[in-house]
Structure 1
């Protein structure tokens, strides 16, 4: 069995390599520069080095097409695996899920002749799942899928478990630049960050805490000051670790130099809580797609837990 994710799913490169996870790429065009967002650390570094994260709200992103997904599967994955789970960003924020579902029809129709030419017998299964979250919030589903596959669980059991984890996955984000976020949202026709809120927030240094949960993305709190916001977010994450997680992993993503993440206020307390409760704390660079959409410097955390009240 194998795993495939789209490039916006924030996970560390070493984890992707360890579990042989395929990445469905997203094309990003910023002015005269073109990036292939496939979570390649070199491309992410090039994006940051050119300082495009602060002026890329006019960028165009092209989610992996139906044809690209079919090509990945029919030229590679159907020859390497017997069953592949595709986990994508929430369908409410991106067309990627729909593209992969449409691609699956062509893959399942044509895989047999491809495998027969290679001397492979037996059926090929392709399962497409919506993580119901975004960015670091997709991590719990992917981590749990990798664990279940290693334990040789059946595809049916994996699908049932992942549906439950997706329903209880949380992705929280603290954006750094509200003006940028509003400009990007306006370009995409998303009015969730109004001009008045952006101006007021920037004037008073008030930052919103945004949550992706069960397909919905909305502000769930406000904090004054970037450093205070980081401390509030990481403190909340530490509390969730102590309360118990459905998957023993907390993923933190940062839209910048990853070496800066552990230096942010409150991160040390999150590290300590994870160590005390045997929870793996993952650090991942935010995808180029993520930085284009929410701005450079954003902080994101993702975990899976039972439904609970949010208090900020």
Structure 2
């Protein structure tokens, strides 16, 4: 059996990672001068409370030393390692993992390390990890799992909305004028992640509920012939809204299982409190 590793921008619960033996590289984040990471975290609810109080967190990518540590640990007990990285379109973490993998591959020519650019974020990346775990546990080979991830990563659909455009403006995702006008008119953007793994606005709705309903509407347009057995939702400390979307999806599409978790701080620093994101397999983005 091969090892699977990822980074904390996959937003999978720590209990899931431990249960399924998934190694974790950590991106760090700094709030009010104090630095945290996945191994020494600030509770998610506290993080969003600090943001609502005016804190403006900053984030850092996975560094090569952290990547090397996690991959070396996986190589101690496995001959093959699959690392599923946060989108290269949003961070340099993929490149850090590649550098570490190439160095270790030279030192261990009898072993195999593959770093897959998920071109995904949050539980979109997490969904790719989840499917890789299922394939591994079902007895699929290392190469079959790698091939599936590469061939299907652009079928992991991301749909999300944010409550406050300021955070997207601060991260350079929307213009200042868009943020100001959108806030005045109570416009809520609907965004997705494109083929290059970057955030792209695909619509805007007046009011929060309409934006949440639009996520579900767009899911109906994009799900195609895929038979999803589960879908994932991440949220920026707005569980009731996440559960509203979950219930709408279950009612309309009959998908039985849903995993809901926080948008972690490394992404939440840029999307802000009130983010709701929906992930599933569907037509190519």
Q: TM-score, normalised by structure 1?
A: 0.82
Unaligned stretches of 5+ residues in structure 1 = 113-122, 186-191
Aligned partner of 1:292 among 269, 274, 278: 269
Distance in 2 separating the partners of 1:111 and 1:246: 40
Tell me if structure 2 keeps the 8 A contact 1:235–1:270: no
Q: Is 1:124 the counterpart of 2:111 in the alignment?
A: yes
Give 1:65's aligned residue: 63
Q: How far has the Cα of 1:181 moved from its partner?
A: 1.8
- Does the residue aligned with 2:88 lie in a helix, a strand or coil? coil
Q: How far has the Cα of 1:129 moved from its partner?
A: 0.2
Q: How far has the Cα of 1:247 moved from its partner?
A: 5.0
Unaligned stretches of 5+ residues in structure 2 = none
Q: For residues 3-24 of structure 1, what are the alpha-carbon distances to aligned partners after superposition, in whole Å with 9 as ceiling and x for unaligned? A: 1111111223443232111121
Aligned residue runs from structure 1 range 46-61, under 5 A: 46-49=46-49, 51-52=50-51, 55-57=54-56, 59-61=57-59
Q: How far has the Cα of 1:206 moved from its partner?
A: 0.6
Aligned residue runs from structure 1 range 87-98, under 5 A: 87-98=84-95
Aligned partner of 1:204 among 185, 209, 221: 185
Distance in 2 separating the partners of 1:200 and 1:305: 33
Distance in 2 separating the partners of 1:174 and 1:183: 16
Q: How far has the Cα of 1:260 moved from its partner?
A: 5.7
Give 1:101's aligned residue: 98
Q: How far has the Cα of 1:126 moved from its partner?
A: 1.2
Distance 1:38 1:298, change over 3 A: farther
Distance 1:260 1:33, change over 3 A: farther
Distance 1:165 1:39, change over 3 A: farther
Tell me the matched-pair count.
Answer: 283
The CA RMSD measured in Å over matched residues stands at: 2.4
Distance in 2 separating the partners of 1:148 and 1:177: 38
- Does the residue aligned with 1:67 lie in a helix, a strand or coil? helix
**Which piece of structure 1 moves more, 164-173 or 288-297?**
164-173
- Does the residue aligned with 1:173 lie in a helix, a strand or coil? strand
Give 1:302's aligned residue: 279
Q: Is 1:222 the counterpart of 2:223 in the alignment?
A: no
Q: For residues 252-285 of structure 1, what are the alpha-carbon distances to aligned partners after superposition, in whole Å with 9 as ceiling and x for unaligned? A: 00011546631x4x432213345x344x211111
Tell me if structure 2 keeps the 8 A contact 1:10–1:284: yes
Tell me if structure 2 keeps the 8 A contact 1:210–1:217: yes
**Which piece of structure 1 moves more, 31-40 or 147-156?**
31-40
Tell me if structure 2 keeps the 8 A contact 1:37–1:289: no
Q: How far has the Cα of 1:92 moved from its partner?
A: 1.3
Give 2:234's aligned residue: 253
Distance in 2 separating the partners of 1:54 and 1:233: 28
Distance in 2 separating the partners of 1:248 and 1:299: 20
Aligned residue runs from structure 1 range 264-275, under 5 A: 264=244, 266-273=245-252
